[in-house]
Structure 1
Amino acid sequence: MTHAEPYWQAGQEPGRQVVVLGIAVCLTAVAVDVLLVGRLTLFFDLCFMASCLLLAALVRRRDFFLVAFLPPLLMATVVAFLAVVARDVVADSGDSLLQAVVSGVATHGLALFVGYALCLGWLVWRLRRGGNLGAELSRELGQTP
């Protein structure tokens, strides 16, 4: 009989799928927030922080490096997209593109910091908890250790 890990500890999703999931979750939060309020609010910040933790929990170990850099890139990409599509959502409508991106990232900087800390903290916890990385990679690749 094998001991199954809890679903929140397992993390078996490939890195590319986790990146796509992160983009989808953040853009969904943006759509809901903009449709309801007309700008990014605390709702987006909370969804962003929760998604950072979710992504770190879902990714498989060999893709940790990809997810470790995802939160800042995700925030910058979402804000840049909004600066191109609807600049007044993240900054003043008269701001330049670069100024709107910097302003949007700075406005949601606390959410970025907390989300990044949650992501890295969870990845480090999983790394230390796992112990033998070689055995886990062999198990993921379908080989017996």
Structure 2
Amino acid sequence: MTQGDTFWEVGSEPGRQVVSLGVAVTLTAVSIDVLLVGRLTLFFDLCFVVLCIGLAALVRRRDFFLVALLPPILLTVVFGFIALVARDAIADASDSVLQAVVSGVATHGIALFVGYALCLGWLAWRLHREGDADMATELSRELGQAG
């Protein structure tokens, strides 16, 4: 990171660590919301949107694709887990697992849309801002370390 760069412009975390952080923070937000209210509320939605932006800011450039796919997969997998352990937090207790997942994604679809759009927008902004010159520098550094 150069002197002109700020923390939100250049991410340096590997994709796997960013995914692990995403899962951990999402499950933490779910736990807090379910323990305090008994279901997922606007608190979870806001946490998810902020998380999506944060993941896009933290990831290193060569792992952009992984984070670009993460928000919808993360939300679906977490809702699948919730449907197995606390179905009434996202749907009716009598719903099937699949129905609970679909209901949860539909109920929190605005948060998914906003978080995903901001995540992709941030990644696109970083690609535009860093430009091809930084990609060539990064590639030469990676090739130099491999040899």
- Report the equivalent of 1:134: 136
For residues 19-66 of structure 1, the C-alpha deviation after alignment (integer angstroms, 9 at most, x for no partner) is: 000000100000100111000000000000000000000000000000
Deviation (angstroms), 1:5: 1.7
Identity over aligned pairs, percent: 69
Q: How many residue pairs end up in the alignment?
A: 142
- Report the equivalent of 1:15: 15
1:34/1:89 contact within 8 Å kept: yes
Deviation (angstroms), 1:137: 3.3
The alignment's TM-score, normalised by the length of structure 2, stands at 0.92
Alignment of 1:76-91 (within 5 A): 76-91=76-91
Give structure 1 regions of 4+ aligned residues with deviation exceeding 3 angstroms: none
Quick one: distance in 2 between partners of 1:14 and 1:20?
A: 10
- The SS at the match of 2:40 is coil
Quick one: distance in 1 between partners of 2:60 and 2:144?
A: 16
Quick one: distance in 1 between partners of 2:118 and 2:17?
A: 20
1:62/1:137 contact within 8 Å kept: no
Quick one: distance in 1 between partners of 2:4 and 2:12?
A: 13
For residues 51-96 of structure 1, the C-alpha deviation after alignment (integer angstroms, 9 at most, x for no partner) is: 0000000000000000000000010011110000010001000001
Quick one: distance in 2 between partners of 1:41 and 1:56?
A: 24
- The SS at the match of 2:9 is helix
Letter in 1 for 2:34: V
For structure 1, which runs of at least 5 residues remain unmatched after alignment? none
- The SS at the match of 1:7 is coil
- Report the equivalent of 2:69: 69
